[in-house]
Amino acid sequence: MGMSDLYGPADEAESIATIHAALDAGVTLLDTGDFYGMGHNELLIHEALRGRKREDVEISVKFGAQRAPGGSWIGYDASPAATKTALAYTLRRLRTDYIDVYRPARLDPNVPIEETVGAIAELVEAGYVRHIGLSEVGAETLRRAAAVHPISDLQIEYSLISRGLESEVLPAARSLGIGVTAYGVLSRGLLSGHWSSNREVNAADFRGHSPRFQGENLTHNLNLVEALRAIAEAKGATVAQIAIAWVASRGSDIVPLVGARRRERLAEALGSLEVTLGPADLAAIEAAVPAGAAAGERYAAAQMAHLDSEH
């Protein structure tokens, strides 16, 4: 996402080099959305995958978010017709004939989930989609969707400071055999150890509006990061590595989705694979950043309203 949108300018050559470095290191899952830069991210992935074997990579695509030419967000459309049309364009941009995991970015409040999943099921039947996923939906929507067609994966924010899924959504996913791709594992950079209160963000940067990155909330949240830093340093790791390793420790059904957009950040993130968190480490992390410790919601109010997972 950050290679095409929402986190300020990105360097295209560096983005492609980062995807190459990830694939060369054994990363197999690339996550995108057709609305990340209005097609830019899919075209970027196509470029990065030139000369690679399609079957070596799993591509997860989100659709449904509607955007105007200037980039403004103008709602969601996950109706059956929009679902099929979006996939047709996605396949062209990615120059592929199938998508591994296809999912609506949000629950469309005007379309029953059964209809959206039913439309993707037809695309599975026709061979254009391998697996059906969902994003930021709650337990009831998961159950309704899974009654129509097996759901492979739920993409949802999960980090040391975003643990809302633990009470109901994660148990429901587990009872239905649905895996989780956790996004925002670094809380969009806040939990990375590299953020500071004097970092400048431009108007198009999500973090310029996100409640957790503002004023007193930011000061409070960066204090949590310093508590984590002490634990990380004692283990010879970085804050980002501890934050990623913590999410990975939550279960083999949870895949941390890391938003590195430069090779240097990717290398740091991959270092988390070398970090093993034992019971004493987990207890220290839990004491430093207990559930609910963050100040501020994970999205601004208007965006929270679109999160079925929070209702």
Task: Give me the active site residues, please.
Answer: 36
Instruction: Identify the burial level of 242 via C-beta atoms within 10 angstroms of its C-beta, where 0-12 means exposed, 13-18 middle and 19 or more buried.
Output: buried
Chain position carrying tokens 């940067």? 205
Q: Is 35 in the site for ligand NAP (CB under 6 A)?
A: no
The contact pattern for ligand NAP, residues 219-248, with x = CB under 6 A and - = no contact, is: ---------------------x--------
Footprint on residues 43-102 left by ligand NAP (CB under 6 A): none
**Residue 116: CB minimum distance to ligand NAP, A:** 15
The CB-based long-range contact list for 270-275 (8 Å cut-off, 24+ gap) reads: 270/25, 271/237, 271/238, 271/241, 272/237, 272/240, 272/241, 272/242, 272/244, 272/245, 272/248, 274/241, 275/235, 275/237, 275/241, 275/242, 275/245
By CB under 6 A, tell whether 211 contacts ligand NAP.
no
Contact call for residue 104 and ligand NAP (CB under 6 A): no
What's the min distance (Å) between Cβ of 71 and ligand NAP?
16
**Identity of the residue, 97 or 200, whose beta carbon is nearer to ligand NAP in the bound complex:** 200
Q: How far is the CB of 308 from ligand NAP (least distance, A)?
A: 11
Size of the site for ligand NAP (CB under 6 A): 26
Q: Which residues of this chain interact with ligand NAP, rule CB under 6 A?
A: 1-2, 7, 31, 105, 135-136, 155, 183-189, 192, 194, 240, 257-261, 265, 268-269
